[in-house]
Chains A and B, each alone.
Chain A
Amino acid sequence: MRKFAAMFIFALLGLAQLYAIESPFRGKSYSQRGILSFGGESLPISAHVKFFPDNSTALQMETAGLAIAKLKLDSRGDALLCFAPPPLGESFAKKYVLPVFKAILLFDASYSRAYFDSKWQITSIITPRFKINFKDYPTGGKPPRLPRILEAEGRDFRLSLELVNAK
């Protein structure tokens, strides 16, 4: 009985930590570079994210100097803007970019499970459609620290991003 009570308490603490955890990327402005693969295609991409004083967050994703997706989320993670110019189009932004971006920022209901390391830094999250790994956290610096590598993988796409700079 005592063992069961202890397990129950630990589970509650774990849940409390889960809901208390924020994404290391939330509230930050940063740039990443990497490769997006989908539908047999590979694109080198850069992602530029800015956090605004009104707690909204904007993302511009580019390849070869051209914008391929533009997003803006409000403080609750609702999309204020979700746009991708031709030839990829809005469906590309809504199907791939928006859900992955919301999941990276750990907005409510964007993920179903999350895993952490011993320092309570998030290492991966699972959604019904994809998984995201947060890798290679720096050992120094003030928390929350940004992972250097971000990887997202679903059935029909793969995204790998490396942090270039952050504010």
Chain B
Amino acid sequence: MKTFLLCQFLFALGALSASANFPADISKRFKEMNSVKVEMRQEKFVSLLEEKIVADILLVADSKGRIRWQTGKIPQSIAILSEGKLSRFELANGKYAEIKSRADSAILPILKKITQMALCDFSGCKNNFDMTFKNGVVTLVPKSENLICAISKIEITLNSNSTAPSKIRIDAPDGDWTIYKIIKITEDPQDLEKAFDTKNPEAFGKKSAWSRR
């Protein structure tokens, strides 16, 4: 749940355009995109282990409301929302196994909300968070009980041009935190249809989908 909430904040910056002094260009820019691919580097600090766990994350979203969230350059796990249906896949013994879980019914409305936000409909964000913007950092503190048990705070740092987020940090109540560093945002990525192909989920998102670093 926390992972997908990241998507909300990535695209929810438009919600803050209602706040004074917030760069309106960001919401306008995302609103004009038909589809977008975001490459991220995830660093998760696990307080119990006193260590960081790193992973590569690939996020793809389009104006039809489809979303792909992938972990790993060789995808370890993939979640695809397409035509209102959530499909999740996990790499096990060299094959992708589809995972069906009762938790999907809780995840699906969250992803649908993300889709709305991806289309710049940010009405839900303001209801769930207290938001402030200062020195290029957007801070969101959850208001609802459901969110408070998983998240204590979110900080979104904008890049130097204030044209896009450069970093998103999510703090959990147990002392863990996760930072998503935005590596690259690509408008209208190639092979878009493959990103949402649930019959062949691994066809998109292998090394060629990632920019060289």
Contacts and interface: CB of A to CB of B under 8 A. Distances in A.
A164 B76 CA distance: 10
Nearest to B107: A64
A58 B48 contact: yes
Contacts of B49: 48, 50, 58, 60
Contacts of A86: 149
Contacts, number: 70
Q: Which of A42, A58, A85 has the most CB of B within 10 A?
A: A42
Interface string A42-84: 1110001010000000101000111100101000000001000
Q: Which of B1, B46, B107 has the most CB of A within 10 A?
A: B46
A85 B172 CA distance: 12
B101 A33 contact: no
A18 to B, nearest CB: 29
Contact of A70 (B2, B3, B4, B48): B48
Interface residues of B, number: 31
Q: Which of B1, B90, B102, B176 has the most CB of A within 10 A?
A: B90
B8 interface: no
Contacts of B150: 66
A166 to B, nearest CB: 14
B213 interface: no
Interface string B14-36: 00000000000000000000000
Contact of A48 (B46, B100, B103, B107): B46
B99 A42 contact: yes
B174 interface: yes
B92 A34 contact: yes
Contacts of A41: 101-103
B76 A33 contact: yes
B93 A64 contact: no
A160 interface: yes
Interface in B90-135: 90-93, 97, 99-103, 107
A81 B48 CA distance: 10
Contacts of A160: 92-93
Given A42-B100, A70-B48, A35 B3 contact: no
B92 A50 contact: no
B160 to A, nearest CB: 28
Nearest to B88: A44
A58 B49 CA distance: 6
A126 interface: no
B91 A33 contact: yes
Contacts of B1: 64-66
A160 B122 CA distance: 40
A81 B49 CA distance: 12
A50 B149 contact: no
A23 interface: no
Given A48-B51, A162-B93, 20 more contacts: A33-B90, A35-B97, A41-B103, A43-B101, A44-B77, A44-B90, A48-B46, A48-B49, A48-B53, A50-B51, A60-B48, A64-B3, A64-B103, A64-B107, A65-B44, A66-B2, A67-B46, A67-B172, A149-B93, A160-B93
Nearest 7 CB-CB pairings of A with B? A65-B3, A44-B90, A50-B49, A65-B2, A42-B99, A58-B48, A60-B48
Interface of B: 1-4, 44, 46, 48-51, 53, 76-77, 88, 90-93, 97, 99-103, 107, 149-150, 172, 174, 176, 178
Interface of A: 31, 33-35, 40-44, 48, 50, 58, 60, 64-67, 70, 72, 81, 85-86, 149, 160, 162, 164
